[in-house]
Amino acid sequence: MPSFVVHEHWATVHHFDFRLEMDGVLKSWAVPKGPPLEPGIKRLAVAVEDHPIDYGSFEGTIPEGEYGAGKVVIWDKGEYILIERGPSKIHFELQGSKLKGEYELIYFKQERGRAQWLLFKKSKVTSKTRN
């Protein structure tokens, strides 16, 4: 199954980087307030550049003067099941230690050259993947 990782990142602005393994890379979104843990909470998720798959295990400090300078730690990681993927919606089930259940990313606008999405939790448990 494909992986996901959430990096907590103390850069110029503290935020979380939400990453899904897709198309041979980690598709990435900056989530200023962090991924929601409960259903019904919507969080801004700003699309950022894709990262290599092996970046999913990175923890450390990006040196001053480099893009994204600051401390980076893994906040959560695991596998996920892709339920639906379209140009303006990605529906998936996360199986991490903190993030569990169905989530969606919904595209809603373009601002300053970056795609703005909403990340929200749909449910705690899904019947789609139960045996």
Judge whether 92 lies within some domain: yes
Which SS3 state, helix, strand or coil, does residue 85 take? Answer: strand
Judge whether 29 lies within some domain: yes
d(C-alpha 114, C-alpha 57), whole Å:
25
The model carries a pTM of 0.90
The whole-number average pLDDT for the span 35-48 is: 95
Judge whether 101 lies within some domain: yes
Which SS3 state, helix, strand or coil, does residue 57 take? Answer: helix
The whole-number average pLDDT for the span 117-121 is: 97
Judge whether 118 lies within some domain: yes
Q: Which residues are CB-neighbours of 36 under 8 A, at least 6 positions away?
A: 42, 43, 119, 120, 121
Which SS3 state, helix, strand or coil, does residue 50 take? Answer: strand
Work out the mean pLDDT of the chain and round it to a whole number: 92
Judge whether 131 lies within some domain: no
d(C-alpha 43, C-alpha 54), whole Å:
26
Q: What is the pLDDT of residue 74?
A: 98
- 80, 20 in Cβ contact below 8 A? yes
Q: Tell me the pLDDT band of 130, cut-offs 50, 70 and 90.
A: very low
d(C-alpha 63, C-alpha 30), whole Å:
19
Judge whether 88 lies within some domain: yes
Q: What is the pLDDT of residue 115?
A: 95
> 21: domain range?
3-123
Q: What is the pLDDT of residue 128?
A: 52
The whole-number average pLDDT for the span 29-54 is: 95
Amino acid identity of residue 74, one-letter, is I
Domain count for the chain: 1
Q: What is the pLDDT of residue 123?
A: 76
The whole-number average pLDDT for the span 51-56 is: 94
Judge whether 108 lies within some domain: yes
Q: What is the pLDDT of residue 68?
A: 83
Judge whether 26 lies within some domain: yes
